[in-house]
Structure 1
Amino acid sequence: MEFELWWLLALPITFALGWLASRLDLQQWRREGEIRRDAPVAYFRGLNFLLSEQQDKAIDAFIEAVTADPNTVDLHFALGNLFRRRGEYERAVRVHQNLLSRADLPAAERQRAQVALAQDFFKAGLLDRAESVYTALTTTPYQPEALAALLQIHERTKEWPRAIDIAGQLERLGAGSYGRQIAHYWCELALQHQQAGDLPAAQDALDRAMQAQPQAVRPWQLRAALAIQSHDPQRALDNLRHIAQIQPDFTALVALEMARLFQELGQSEEGRAWLITQLQGYPAIDLLDAVLQLENDASERYHLALGYLQTHQSLLAARRILDQASSPISPEPARLALAQALDGAMKSRQRYRCAACGFEARNYTWHCPACQGWETYPPRRTEELQLIAP
């Protein structure tokens, strides 16, 4: 093997190139180290402020950290979340839109920024813009979260067909059972058809509600309303009596309407006996009122109310005693004073309370306006719940 002269030149050239590369790497490392030293200080200072609930100072620290290193994605998310928590939705939107405007943002971080932006729009009440972003996310790994948010949006905007479709998609994804919600969506759709005068469409929607949730009470209640509208009181009564078969606890909600239908059909005696049976098995003040409505004898009404009061010592039952003409309470001023005292005490007790969030409503409602839950109200008023609690 012959020795060539250029080999002697290659050695110093290789050494020079290596030395130059090492110097460049060292300078780059130093620059990155300066950034890493600056950004974490502000970042951790912001965390300390956040933990001590000093959000204004935390935001200032995070802004400083983002300014020191604009490429730090997590800092942007932290800052945007802080703005959203404080209700500064416009600033949160700007932070997340700034992230999305970066061409070098990885796909996973881009999707994460889209989720955050959709949350900003949703919290700000810009439901149409939130819906647009969440719809785009349904083809990403965030699909379940996006669909759940879209379901809330469609509930708020009362777009029941779209809510039914989204709930079905969530069920197929294995996100849980949505039969109860779907049944209520069909009921809401039936009410829209009823108000528009399209009774066949309303009936079809109720049939679909019962397919979605066979044990649902509300479709039978609405079917009774349709029968009344069609001047068919017997069919209405049959629909309401069916409620006692599937969920007898809910009979109290329709008891007064049933008493009226029994009277209209000339079945007061039969209705009174049937309602008394329900009252014995599932005591509720509305069932008692329905029985009293069908009882013509004043003395018997008083004894029915007194018997209920002796078994279920509630202010509501006591008030029914005072309402009876044959009440032996005397003199009249004392009777009126007692009635006024009972009325005042009952104001906070004759409400329905949501079992999910505790929100109270004067009238029974199928949809809690506070937590947005469906069928979360027990069919008894708060005082009665306290009496039957173990």
Structure 2
Amino acid sequence: MDLDLTWLLWGLPLAFAAGWLASRFDLHQWRLEGRRAPKAVFRGLNQLLNEQQDRAIDSFIEAVQNDPDTSELHFALGNLFRRRGDYDRAVRVHEHLLARGDLSQKDRDRAQHALALDFLKAGLLDRAEAALRQLEHSAFADEARQALLGIFERARDWPQAIAMAEQLDKEHTGAYQLRLSHFLCEMAATASKRQATDEAMQLLEQARTRAPDAPRPHVEIAALQQSQQQPDAALDTLLALTATHPQTLPLVAHPMAQLAQQTGRSQAVRARLEQLQPTPPSIDVTEAIAGLSTDPTIARGTYLRHLESEASLVMAARWLAGESLGGTQQQALVLRALDQATQPLKRYRCAACGFEAKQYFWQCPGCQNWDSYPTRRVEEL
């Protein structure tokens, strides 16, 4: 029986034509999708430059749908959601990335870090801590430890904050001795509230050893000594502090004046305050000097000398309080108006974020930075 090869003559060209058409169709689709994705990306970048975040997000979502395997588009989209405050969608984007089996280890660590930042910005500290701990052996390890330190500070978990700061300090990723001193002072404050004065004093001595140049341990030790009915020891602590760190004088001038009156050392302390009065003069130091003067005329002269060196509405109000303004009722009205006007000028202002407060803070309640408050009042800045 002869083999009929006629069907091969027809079949081969048809198969070739079908394969060629299929390849052309796939190539056309690939080119079409490739053109759509870059256009959406470029459109999104342009909208970002024009500060149109909502429209940029829509463009990036379109780009991700056209090219779902591109991790960079997912990272860009997740970062946009986070910056916009849409933390739920940012978390979903980064969790979707982590669920992919074809993601490289580098991109996986990057997605894990981004997810931790999503939780951190959303205030989900427990989930942020768990996500950050998974980055221990990654390229983001240092950043993760610093973020964990911030979490422990916000949670006021000082033992864990100390352990993390010591680890960072050993790895030479920054100087953390001053922050360690603050952490020990915070623990001492907690112990003092429990009436555990011996424990509090030990912690403060450790804080002073950690950071000998830090003023806070000396200030806290003096306050603890005063609470233990040791005014002479407390005053000596503050005098020693101002001798080595005169820039702290405005912060401790009032406690020094109070302790001087308790110990009968007003004249010596007043002389020290006058000797160390900075230039331009400090409102707090001037008030402390005036408070140690038994003669009202001498006190008013102290305010006047301040005004001669530096214009100050606060000092002007203090000086006017001793002047006769033509009647008790009229004088009370004027002094009340001046007191109301000077209240905002007596506040402390954070140099990092501008948060203002009536009292001095070692850690800003607004931005959580340490030692960001100058020792001078708003009027003096």
TM-score (norm 1): 0.86
Q: Which runs of 5+ in 2 are unaligned?
A: 1-16
Aligned to 2:180: 182
Q: Counterparts of 2:207 and 2:25 in 1: how far apart (Å)? A: 69
Alpha-carbon separation, structure 2, partners of 1:29 and 1:198: 78
Match of residue 256 from structure 1: 254
The answer to whether the Cα contact below 8 Å between 2:324 and 2:331 also exists between their aligned partners in 1 is: no
Task: Measure how far apart 1:48 and its partner are.
Answer: 2.1
Q: Post-superposition shift, 1:85? A: 1.3
Matches within 5 A, 1:38-49: 38-49=36-47
Match of 1:224 in 2: 222
Tell me how far 1:148 sits from its aligned partner. 1.4
Query: Residue 295 of structure 1 aligns to a residue in which SS?
Result: coil
Do the aligned residues in 1 keep the contact of 2:208 with 2:217 (CA within 8 Å)?
yes
User: Once the 2 structures are TM-superposed, how far is the Cα of residue 117 of structure 1 from its aligned partner?
Assistant: 0.4
Quick check: 2:135–2:144 contact (8 Å CA) kept in 1?
A: yes
Flag the 1:34–1:360 CA change in 2: closer, same or farther, 3 A. Answer: same
Distance 2:109 2:374 in 1: 41
Residue in structure 1 matched with residue 106 of structure 2 by the alignment: 108
CA RMSD of aligned residues (A): 2.5
Structure 2 letter corresponding to 1:102: R
Quote the residue 1:6 is aligned against: none
Distance verdict in 2 for CA 1:299–1:105, change over 3 Å? same
Aligned equivalent of 1:378: 374
- Specify which of 197, 201, 218 is matched with residue 199 of structure 1: 197
Alpha-carbon separation, structure 2, partners of 1:298 and 1:122: 56
Q: TM-score, normalised by structure 2?
A: 0.88
Structure-2 residue corresponding to 1:149: 147
User: Amino acid of the residue matched to residue 167 of structure 2?
Assistant: Q
Equivalent position SS for 2:373: coil
Shift, 1:335, TM fit: 4.0
Seen in structure 2, the aligned counterparts of structure 1 residues 168 and 30 have a Cα distance that, compared at 3 Å, is farther
Q: CA deviation at 1:141?
A: 0.8
1:253 is displaced (CA, Å) by 1.5
What's the secondary structure of 1:139's corresponding residue?
Answer: coil
Distance 1:69 1:205 in 2: 58
For residue 347 of structure 1, report the CA deviation from its aligned partner. 3.0
Match for residue 351 of structure 1 among 337, 340, 347: 347
Shift of 1:179: 2.2
| Per-residue deviation, 1:316 | 1.4
Query: Aligned match of 1:364 in 346, 360, 364?
Result: 360
Distance 1:193 1:29 in 2: 73
Q: Find the aligned partners of 1:163 and 1:359 in 2 and give their Cα distance.
A: 24
Alignment partner of 2:277: what SS? Answer: helix
The 4+ residue runs of structure 1 with deviation greater than 3 A are 19-35, 328-338
Alignment of structure 1 residues 216-295 onto 2, 5 Å = 216-279=214-277, 283-295=281-293
Match of 2:136 in 1: 138
Separation in 2, partners of 1:46, 1:167:
41
Judging changes above 3 Å, is the alpha-carbon distance between structure 1 residues 90 and 232 closer, same or farther for their aligned structure 2 residues?
A: same
Paired residue secondary structure (2:291): helix
Contact 2:60 2:77 in 1 (8 A): yes
Equivalent in 159, 168, 171 of residue 169 of structure 2: 171
1:55 matched to 2:53: yes
> Contact 2:280/2:310 (CA < 8 Å) preserved in 1?
no
Shift of 1:172: 2.9
- Residues 180/26 of structure 1: CA separation in 2 closer, same or farther (3 Å cut): farther
Mark the runs of 5 or more structure 1 residues left unpaired by the alignment.
Answer: 1-18, 386-390
Which residue is 2:3 aligned to?
Answer: none
CA distance, structure 1, for counterparts of residue 232 and residue 295 of structure 2: 26
> What's the offset of the Cα at 1:30?
5.3
More deviation, 78-87/200-209: 200-209
Q: Following the alignment from structure 1 to structure 2, what is the Cα–Cα distance between the partners of residues 88 and 151?
A: 25
The more displaced of 280-289 and 114-123 is 280-289
Give CA deviations for 1:334-354 in whole Å, capped at 9, x if unaligned: 644543443343233222122
Aligned positions, number: 366
- Match of residue 9 from structure 1: none
Is the contact made by 1:249 and 1:282 (CA closer than 8 Å) also made in structure 2?
Answer: no
Describe how 1:16-35 pairs up with structure 2 within 5 A.
32-35=30-33
CA offset digits 1:159-210 (Å, max 9, x no partner): 1122222222223333222222221111111111111222222122212212
What whole-Å deviation, never above 9, does each CA across 1:83-132 have from its counterpart, x for those lacking one? 11111111111111011111111101100100110010001100010011
Instruction: State the AA in 1 paired with 2:346.
Output: Q
CA distance in 2, matches of 1:180, 1:305: 36
Offset, 1:20: 12
1:109 counterpart SS class = helix
Conserved? CA contact 2:208–2:214, under 8 Å: yes
Residue 75 (structure 1) aligned with residue 76 (structure 2): no
Once the two structures are superposed, residues 304-355 of structure 1 have per-residue CA deviations (whole angstroms, 9 ceiling, x without a partner) of 222222222211111221233xx35545566445434433432332221222
Cα deviation, residue 258, structure 1? 1.6
Q: Is the 8 A contact 1:39 1:68 kept in 2?
A: yes
